[in-house]
Amino acid sequence: MEMFELNELILRKAKELGFGDAVVLAYETNRRQVRFANNEITVAKNWHERKVELFVELDKRIAGTTITELSEETIERTLKTLLSNMKGMSPKEDYYGIAEGPFEYKNIPETFDKAIVELDEPNEYVERAINSALEEGAKRVAGVLYTDHNRIYLTTSNGVEAFDEGTGIEISVRAFIGDLESGHGTNSVRVLKKFDPESAGRKAGEIASLAKNPEQGPEGRFDVIFDPLAFANLLSYMSFMTSAYAAEAGFSPFVNKLGQKVANEIVTIKDVGNLPNGYGSRKFDDEGVPTRETTIIDGGTFKAFLLNTSLARKYKTETTANAGLIMPHAWNVVLEPGDYSKEELFDEVERGIYVTNVWYTRFQNYVTGDFSTIPRDGIFLIEDGNLKPIRNIRVSDNLLGILSRVEVVSRESHHVHWWEVETPVTTPYVLVKDVGITRATK
Amino acid sequence: MHELVEFAVEKALELGADYAEARFEEKNGTSLAMKNGSPEGLEVLADRGIGVRVLVGGGMGFASTNVLTKESVAEAVKKAVKLAKSASRVRNEPIRFSEEDFHSVYYEVKMRKDFRDVSPEEKLELLRKIEEEVKGTGVNVPMRYLSYSDQIWHKIMANSDGAFIESIIPRVSMMYNLVVFENGQMEQAPFVERAFSGGLELIEKDEPWKWAVKDVKALKRLIYEGKKPPEGKIDLVISPEVAGIAVHESVGHPYEADRIFGREAAQAGESFVKPDMLGERIGSEAVTVIEDPTIPNSWGFYLYDDEGVKARPRYLIKDGIITEFLTNREYAYKLGQRSNAAARAINYNREPIVRMANTYLAPGDYSFEELIEEVKLGVYMVSFNEWNIDDRRYQQRYIGSEAYLIENGEIKHPVRRPILEITTRALWSSVDAVGREVEFYPGTCGKGEPGQGIPVWMGGAHARLRDIPLRY
């Protein structure tokens, strides 16, 4: 049975059983992975999955499930189980429905490439990335390569029938010289001709080479230049906090901040669901609304939470096309670039710190935004135009504080998506004033 | 399903695999959430599939499918073999597995109160109980996010070395995020979880609502009475919860053999621990850290790992000395050892990798009163919010949430956000006494790519640390 026929069958049966709103989102995914470490492949993987995500509503009671065995019998049994479970349940009082379709969809440039589907074996790209890192002086190289091919079929009880097909290829490379000297580079694209595994390997190798013989770093307040890899991590965490759902659940410092200044005026942050060549781009959200650009922070002012239709109606506004039927989420976060070259940005700092990557970002308090994160890979003390390798420091600050102290953003931007940056982020190099830096003293 | 698992193993051998392993996993369950008093809806989990892992010519391949037909499984096997073959060409040395004794075993965890017989509305009542009890304290808690989850994990794994393991493990958990707003200040108890392997009776006995009440009362008191903690070198008594995160982050993780050998270098990182550090002192004589998957009803419970090796308690540190790493068959072979059964996969579509299960600071012989009464000036850290550690597991920090001043052997007023930022060696060398009672706290440990958030318990006894440079 074709996937749309299957979707229709599920919708028809849901209607027969008396459900109200119903959304059927079917996926076919083919994903490959090549993992490597110590300059050799540690494992190669392949995933083939077919599944249907189902969302149903019954008098404001809502439920979701996933069906993987797509027989008529399983579908019927699943729907009946949901029905009997939902009948005695209390309603979600603040449920306001799903989007009214149909909609028209536009192709997003550079999100599908047959060449990726037909790619037989991607090991060659891994070897190229490893070799570029080794050429820069690295001794050990580790990382991961993925290829993706996804088909999505969406049908809703409100007249939506939508299809999207996407591809992607990405690599994440970490290069080491000794135990303490490392660098990281990534490259994530949707079409093969834009794929540049060497650039990721080269960057990882270059930073590792610059980071030789690091000394214990200082503590205090410093002007910090965040590499796109590092700032993407913070913006990825931030994007979760801009979901209206996260705000209601007590996981956001943006609560009660609509219309208020939350960042320096040079900061404009958007979510762009239809970003060409964006790793998170998709034609429509989970209820079928065509994805778009939503300005979250405009010139330093907090403009919008990310919404689905139900939450939008609750707050008497329009959806931002970020469903998640339960929790809206960002697709691709974009920090608008500035007009400084990378060199000019570094010239702005007389004494400061260059952080090339971070990990383990954790919050003491999500509502105030107090957090810390750990720089990893090359960290450099900037003094009179020189980069001196340091180690063992921690960025300990406040998320809104960081945003309000953004001093300069570069022209050059990078699209980042890897293990530590789940929501893809496009960001320039960012100079932040007076960033809190701590370290262990025993 | 047994036949399909066996078919996958046989098919792989037929296609030239030197080693083959197939694992069927099925997960069924329900989850419910409540946000600020309003039910968010029901999620019904029904997921199943097969994963196949093979070694061919020293290369490793893995493929999975959730289309459970013979054709689709054969296709996955074919892919795994092909991937392993081509991976073997980019190897410096072939992957080999340690020799182990394998068994044919069935085991299951029994539920006294089977959550499958309980309606979603009754499960919502458990969340409502937290709502009501929290409201009953009179503390202003404007943001409340609560969730309940139950799942049954059914696994069947077989490998070409003779293992055949089937298990059924039910899991039940509750989580809350509570934001206290009093006197113009906001404090938070985020992602607090109570979790067990077993039936609903374990949640009912544990009474998560009592934990929630304790938390909001403590946070209110912190807002009104909290003072700056003493700075400089003082003594620090850490609770089982704080000891738990510390052993997990700075003992469990760096002792994972795959990290030690660099396999996770580009993701979770490497380790400050090297193979030749076995037998080296890393802490005081008071410190013994045990990793034990076999604790009944624990969140990290299993009796056989996902490579079919029988689980046992592992002494990572004994009396301050590094005694054992966590291994799977690949890294046990590299170390010239037997695997100690730390290979775990979170689902059929993930490879088994080296993981913790239940990690704890073993009890000593001090009562809690004895630990406190010998402290002139110190802090008692009961719970923490923010924490992190570098990717070699050497520089960590834990920020206290509920914490109190200790003065002349007595616990006094709450202190605000005391910060323990310390190296691993200094942390475990500073412990001079450990309490008698052990407690456990659940968590979801992150590792692997794609990510494999895996259930673990962390815990131990209270511990007293001397001369700690506490920050604020």
Judging contacts by C-beta atoms under 8 Å, the chain A residues touching residue B80 are 46
* Mean pLDDT calculated for residue range A217-243: 98
* The dihedral sign for the CA sequence B403, B407, B409, B411: negative
**pLDDT number for residue A88:** 85
Q: Do A89 and B39 touch (CB under 8 A)?
A: yes
pLDDT tens for each residue of B54-94: 999 999 999 999 999 999 999 999 999 999 999 999 999 99
* Mean pLDDT calculated for residue range B261-281: 97
How crowded is residue A33: how many other Cβ atoms within 10 Å of its Cβ? 20
**pLDDT number for residue A1:** 66
**pLDDT number for residue B25:** 98
CA distance B66 to B72: 9
**pLDDT of B423 higher than 70:** yes
Q: CA of B252: how far to CAs of A306, B195, B248, B289, B315, in Å?
A: 38, 20, 5, 9, 10
Q: Where are the domains of chain B?
A: 2-225, 232-470
Confidence of residue B12 (pLDDT cuts 50, 70, 90): very high
**pLDDT number for residue A70:** 87
B266, B395, B399 member nearest A174 (Cβ): B266
CA distance A226 to A353: 9
CA distance B230 to B222: 15
Q: Nearest-CA residue of chain A relative to B260?
A: A179
Percentage of chain B surpassing pLDDT 70? 100
User: Which numeric CATH code is attached to A3-210?
Assistant: 3.30.2290.10
pLDDT tens for each residue of B14-28: 999 999 999 999 999
**pLDDT number for residue A36:** 98
Confidence of residue B130 (pLDDT cuts 50, 70, 90): very high
CA distance A109 to B422: 49
- Nearest alpha-carbon partner for B267 in A41, A230, A228, A144: A144
A33, A68, A89 member nearest B66 (Cβ): A68
Confidence of residue B446 (pLDDT cuts 50, 70, 90): very high
Contacts of A398 (CB under 8 A, 6+ apart): A253, A368, A369, A370, A371
pLDDT tens for each residue of B299-350: 999 999 999 999 999 999 999 999 999 999 999 999 999 999 999 999 999 9
Confidence of residue A404 (pLDDT cuts 50, 70, 90): very high
CA distance B166 to B180: 45
Judging contacts by C-beta atoms under 8 Å, the chain A residues touching residue B28 are none
CA distance B372 to B448: 40
A69, A86, A249 member nearest B145 (Cβ): A249
Q: Nearest-CA residue of chain A relative to B448?
A: A419
CA distance A279 to A334: 12
Q: Find the range with the poorest average confidence among A38-42, A119-123, B259-263.
A: A119-123
User: Which numeric CATH code is attached to B2-225?
Assistant: 3.30.2290.10
- Nearest alpha-carbon partner for A397 in A367, A427, A363: A363
Contacts of B49 (CB under 8 A, 6+ apart): A49, A68, B24, B25, B64, B65, B66, B68, B347, B348, B349
- End-to-end alpha carbon distance in chain A: 65
Q: What pTM did the predictor assign?
A: 0.97
**pLDDT of A441 higher than 90:** no
Q: Do B471 and A123 touch (CB under 8 A)?
A: no
> What are the E-state strand segments in B104-163?
104-108, 143-159
Q: Do A250 and B145 touch (CB under 8 A)?
A: yes
Contacts of B382 (CB under 8 A, 6+ apart): B218, B239, B241, B242, B400, B401, B402, B403, B404
* The dihedral sign for the CA sequence B367, B373, B374, B375: positive
Q: Do B188 and A250 touch (CB under 8 A)?
A: yes
**Spacing of C-alpha A351 from chain mean position:** 32
Find the length of chain B.
472
Judging contacts by C-beta atoms under 8 Å, the chain B residues touching residue A94 are 38
Which residues, in sequence order, are bridge partners of residue B81? none
- End-to-end alpha carbon distance in chain B: 57
pLDDT tens for each residue of A129-178: 999 999 999 999 999 999 999 999 999 999 999 999 999 999 999 999 99
Q: CA of A141: how far to CAs of A35, A45, A185, A255, B60, in Å?
A: 11, 19, 11, 43, 18
**Spacing of C-alpha A397 from chain mean position:** 22
Which residues, in sequence order, are bridge partners of residue B422? B396
CA distance B403 to B381: 4
Q: What is the mean pLDDT of chain B?
A: 97
Judging contacts by C-beta atoms under 8 Å, the chain B residues touching residue A47 are 63-65, 349
Residues A67/A68/A71/A74 CA torsion (nearest 10 deg): -50
In this structure, what token pair is assigned to residue A269? Answer: 């942050």
**pLDDT of A243 higher than 80:** yes
In this structure, what token pair is assigned to residue A58? Answer: 């019954």
Residues A57/A59/A60/A62 CA torsion (nearest 10 deg): -30
Confidence of residue A2 (pLDDT cuts 50, 70, 90): confident
Smallest CA–CA distance, residue A76 to chain B, in Å, is 14
Question: Which positions 33-92 of A are in contact with B (Cβ < 8 Å)?
Answer: 33-51, 61-69, 78, 81-82, 85-86, 88-92
A45, A91, A371 member nearest B83 (Cβ): A45
- The verdict on whether omega for the bond into residue B414 sits within 30 degrees of 0, i.e. cis, is no
Q: Are β-strands A421-438 and A40-58 bridged in parallel, bridged antiparallel, or unpaired?
A: unpaired
Contacts of B14 (CB under 8 A, 6+ apart): none
Interface test with B, best of A19, A32, A34, A43 (most B CBs within 10 A): A43
Smallest CA–CA distance, residue B272 to chain A, in Å, is 8
Interface test with B, best of A27, A79, A229, A365 (most B CBs within 10 A): A365
In this structure, what token pair is assigned to residue B464? Answer: 């007293």
Confidence of residue B384 (pLDDT cuts 50, 70, 90): very high
**Spacing of C-alpha A53 from chain mean position:** 21
Question: Which positions 138-197 of A are in contact with B (Cβ < 8 Å)?
Answer: 140, 142-144, 172-174, 176, 179, 184
* The dihedral sign for the CA sequence A215, A216, A219, A221: positive
pLDDT tens for each residue of A183-195: 999 999 999 999 9
Cβ atoms of A437 and A248 closer than 8 Å: no
CA distance B387 to A17: 49
- What 8-state DSSP symbol labels residue B227? B
> Under DSSP, is residue B436 helix (H, G, I), strand (E, B) or coil?
coil
Element (H, E) at A137: none
What was the ipTM of the complex prediction? 0.95
In this structure, what token pair is assigned to residue A95? Answer: 């449920």
* CA atoms lying within 13 Å on the CB side of residue A72: 6
**Helix residue spans in B137-228 (DSSP H):** 200-206, 208-225
Q: Nearest-CA residue of chain B relative to A31?
A: B63
Cβ atoms of A336 and A326 closer than 8 Å: no
